[in-house]
Amino acid sequence: MSLAGSVVISTEEFVPPGPGDFELPDVFTIAGVGVTKPMLQLVLAGVLVFGFLYLASRKRAMVPGKLQFAGESAYGFVRNSVARDIIGSHDFMRFVPYLVTVFFFILLNNFFGSIPFIQFPTFSRSGMVYGLAALSWIVYNYVGIRKHGFLGYLKLQCVPGGITGPILALLIPLEFMSNLIVRPVTLALRLFANMFAGHILILLFAVGGEYLLVHGATLIKPVGILAWLLFIAISFLELLVQFLQAYVFVLLNAMYISGALADEH
């Protein structure tokens, strides 16, 4: 492709980012098992979330300090805006520790994609997300079976209330697939797809803008500058997406727990 007789860009030289950029090499190996950067980020996030919540609650005072105030505000956000509003005032308290932990664990792992020198969202790797979704699946099914019994819970999830007749032959398999099989898959895919797409979009504008600025003709260089401006704008937008995806994941967990505890489907 050329403009005014000068070469603008060589498509053979520019390699756009793709899924291969998310296949990171092992940082080190333990007992023959490779430890990757996302695995280390999971451990780091767990340590940081535990450390923050522990330090924020260690010296509880009537007049909170800055750290205690930050911890109480973060805890209260999930406790009141998610757990109590969705699960209900009767049952919500026993699920608050789980929901608070999951929210801040996901949030920090998402923010890793925007933190300098890390700049990789942990949950842009699907295997990490499916493990978290499997844990959620175990939790809400366990509480439902514990309250209603196995057959009672299965009926609650698979048989819509107030419906009888032959139509149940169609609805029961659909409800079974929707409530017991598809839920954890969609829960994982939502988080994974947003983290993957957002990060690859940032990579595209950053790398593409740099290539145009370095290798593009003079008239094309402003496009490279525009790409970098979009890279900065999308980076800030990604911060909002990272927060929203952590919130949505925990919100859906609370909804699934509430549905498992409900007396009618």
pLDDT tens per residue across span 77-95: 999 999 999 998 888 999 9
CB 87 within 8 A of CB 261: yes
Using CA atoms, how far apart are residues 184 and 132, in angstroms rounded to an integer? Answer: 9
pLDDT for the residue numbered 104: 95
Apex 181 CA angle, 96 and 18, nearest 5:
90
Q: Does the pLDDT of residue 214 top 50, yes or no?
A: yes
Q: What is the mean pLDDT of residues 96-117?
A: 94
Q: What is the mean pLDDT of residues 151-166?
A: 86
pLDDT for the residue numbered 258: 93
Q: What is the mean pLDDT of residues 176-186?
A: 91
pLDDT for the residue numbered 9: 47
Q: Which residue from 50, 189, 232, 36 is spatially nearest to 120, judged by alpha carbons? A: 36
Tell me phi and psi for residue 98, to 5 degrees.
Answer: -65, -50
Q: What is the mean pLDDT of residues 53-79?
A: 85
Q: Does the pLDDT of residue 7 top 50, yes or no?
A: no
- What is the percentage of the chain residues whose pLDDT exceeds 70? 95
CA dist list (Å): 216 to 79, 117, 222, 235, 240: 53, 28, 10, 24, 33
CA dist list (Å): 14 to 76, 93, 111, 199, 203: 49, 54, 29, 19, 13
Q: What is the mean pLDDT of residues 26-37?
A: 86
Q: Which residue from 200, 205, 201 is spatially nearest to 225, judged by alpha carbons? A: 205
Q: Does the pLDDT of residue 233 top 70, yes or no?
A: yes
Three-state SS sequence of 31-91: CCEEECHHHHHHHHHHHHHHHHHHHHHHCCCCCCCHHHHHHHHHHHHHHHHHHHHHHCCCC
Domain ranges of the chain: 2-261
Q: Which residue from 66, 9, 5 is spatially nearest to 208, judged by alpha carbons? A: 9
Categorize the per-residue pLDDT at 160 as very low, low, confident or very high, splitting at 50, 70 and 90.
Answer: confident
Under DSSP, is residue 8 helix (H, G, I), strand (E, B) or coil? coil
What tokens appear for 4 in the block? 């005014």
Q: Does the pLDDT of residue 140 top 90, yes or no?
A: yes
Categorize the per-residue pLDDT at 12 as very low, low, confident or very high, splitting at 50, 70 and 90.
Answer: low
CB 124 within 8 A of CB 130: no
Categorize the per-residue pLDDT at 3 as very low, low, confident or very high, splitting at 50, 70 and 90.
Answer: very low
pLDDT for the residue numbered 88: 87
Widest distance between CA atoms in the chain: 77
Mean pLDDT, rounded, of the chain: 87
pLDDT for the residue numbered 31: 81
Its pTM stands at 0.88
* 157 sits in which H/E element: helix 150-158
Using CA atoms, how far apart are residues 202 and 205, in angstroms rounded to an integer? Answer: 5
Least confident of 14-28, 66-80, 124-138: 14-28
